[in-house]
């Protein structure tokens, strides 16, 4: 990685603006239900504090509308963040303006200030230069540890670096190294597993992966579009008819490049989209009208597992079925087990994207994977090979 990290700068006695991704889920009593994103930033925050910095932490929660919806306030993060850091976190009821400026000015080394939701200001998403300048004011340096928003050119990640030097935190560095280096120079055999509902969401990833991998496994709802494009009956399964030509093009591209494509050979089908639906397993060319495929079948799981044997690099994005329902989670679990086994046998494995991470969590195999990415859309765009504004803005070594 040719970008500077926090190890390349002296932070002693400095005020450091830290952009994190604390867009965490809450229950109806405003308790945090999954703090993974917060915990993942602790190495960065603790390193800065241990080296004599004062921290000004900025983040967003949700997608607030014009009004400042209370449920998106960062004040609900303060208690838990204080517990995680083992020190009292101060809070400012806005991220710019007189109160924020005064709170920054009063900060001493070892102290932490959390700013109110950046997205309460529409200038954040517009990457407004004046807003970015206000965010940076009163700070000596900036650290970006928010990989999850690095595919967006917002004021807090792409604008602030125009005013103060901005470097990568440990989490950002890990994401860039793991995904970036793996894609640049992968060990072969290289297998990509692409699942999820829609081909349209993953066109760029599939196309980019065909240029790099030896085998591509296509599962989940998007597989039905490929099957239908090949003339197979898919019943009432999820499908994108306007993507048939594209599916055929991608299959042709894979064939021309000598890339093996593994599609389902059997499917678990249901008579309705529900946890208590009647189900049966049929061959991929035997889906009757009125039924819909909601998971891959056992023979398919065996094919997927076989395709992962001996792999040295594995990238997985998207579940193999409607994993939220236990009846349709078996295909995803089989893939998780096969990826964990490949990792145990020496493969580098990367799992990214919101659904994949949730599915992996359900299998209990998260700690058996080399790297679980914190980004959803960011991971996808990184895998597509697109330039990421938040990474491009970081200071070069």
40 is in an annotated binding site: no
356 is in an annotated binding site: yes
CB 171 within 8 A of CB 147: yes
Set 3, 37, 174, 212: catalytic member: 37
| Ramachandran quadrant class, 163 (left: phi over 0; alpha: psi -120 to 50; beta: rest) | alpha
Cα within 13 Å of Cα(228), Cβ side: 21
Set 138, 204, 377, 385: catalytic member: 377
* Cα–Cα distance for residue pair 261/191, rounded to 1 Å: 10
131, two tokens: 């807003």
37 is known as an active-site residue? yes
237 is in an annotated binding site: no
62 is in an annotated binding site: yes
* Cα–Cα distance for residue pair 35/50, rounded to 1 Å: 22
Report the candidate in 344, 370, 25, 395 with the shortest Cα–Cα distance to residue 175.
370
Set 354, 361, 362, 368: catalytic member: 354
21 is in an annotated binding site: yes
202 is in an annotated binding site: yes
Q: What value, to the nearest 5°, has the Cα angle with vertex 189 and ends 363 and 340? A: 15
40 is known as an active-site residue? no
CB 114 within 8 A of CB 89: yes
Set 198, 260, 286, 341: catalytic member: 198
Helix (H) or strand (E) holding 52: none
CB 325 within 8 A of CB 292: no
152 is in an annotated binding site: yes
341 is known as an active-site residue? no
68 is known as an active-site residue? no
63 is in an annotated binding site: yes
367 is in an annotated binding site: no
Report the candidate in 140, 147, 137 with the shortest Cα–Cα distance to residue 168.
147
Residues with catalytic function: 37, 198, 354, 377
Question: Which residues carry a binding-site annotation for substrate?
Answer: 21-23, 37, 60-63, 119, 152
Question: Which residues carry a binding-site annotation for (2R)-3-phosphoglycerate?
Answer: 37, 119, 152
Question: Which residues carry a binding-site annotation?
Answer: 21-23, 37, 60-63, 119, 152, 202, 324, 353-356
Question: Which residues carry a binding-site annotation for ATP?
Answer: 202, 324, 353-356
């Amino acid at each position: 990685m040719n970008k500077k990290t926090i190890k390349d700068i002296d932070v002693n006695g400095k005020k450091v603006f830290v952009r994190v991704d604390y867009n965490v889920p809450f229950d109806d009593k405003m308790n945090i239900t999954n703090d993974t994103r917060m915990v993942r930033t602790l190495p960065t925050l603790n390193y800065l504090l241990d080296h004599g910095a004062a921290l000004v932490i900025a983040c967003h929660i949700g997608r607030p509308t014009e009004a400042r919806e209370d449920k998106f306030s960062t004040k609900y993060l303060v208690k838990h963040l204080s517990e995680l850091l083992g020190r009292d976190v101060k809070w400012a009821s806005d991220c710019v303006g007189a109160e924020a400026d005064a709170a920054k000015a009063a900060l001493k080394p070892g102290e932490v200030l959390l700013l109110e939701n950046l997205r309460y200001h529409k200038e954040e998403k517009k990457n407004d230069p004046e807003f970015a300048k206000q965010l940076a004011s009163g700070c000596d340096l900036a650290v970006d540890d928010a990989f999850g928003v690095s595919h967006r050119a917002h004021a807090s990640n792409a604008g602030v670096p125009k005013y103060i030097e901005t470097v990568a935190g440990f989490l950002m560095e890990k994401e860039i190294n793991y995904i970036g280096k793996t894609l640049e120079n992968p060990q072969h055999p290289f297998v990509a597993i692409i699942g999820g509902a829609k081909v349209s969401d993953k066109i760029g990833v599939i196309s980019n992966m065909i240029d790099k991998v030896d085998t591509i496994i296509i599962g989940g709802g998007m597989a039905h579009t490929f099957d239908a494009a090949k003339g197979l009956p898919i019943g009432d399964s999820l499908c994108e008819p306007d993507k048939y030509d594209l599916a055929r093009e991608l299959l042709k591209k894979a064939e021309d490049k000598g890339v093996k494509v593994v599609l389902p050979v059997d499917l678990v089908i249901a008579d309705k989209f529900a946890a208590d639906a009647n189900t049966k397993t049929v061959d991929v060319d035997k889906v009757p009208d009125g039924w819909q495929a909601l998971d891959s079948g056992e023979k398919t799981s065996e094919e997927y597992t076989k395709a992962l044997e001996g792999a040295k690099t594995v990238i997985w994005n998207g579940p193999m079925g409607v994993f939220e329902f236990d009846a349709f989670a078996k295909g995803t679990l089989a893939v998780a087990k096969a990826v964990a086994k490949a990792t145990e046998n020496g493969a580098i494995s990367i799992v990214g994207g919101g659904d994949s991470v949730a599915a992996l969590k359900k299998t209990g195999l998260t700690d058996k994977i080399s790297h679980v990415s914190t980004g959803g859309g960011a991971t996808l765009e990184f895998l597509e090979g697109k330039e990421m504004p938040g990474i491009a803005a970081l200071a070069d070594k």
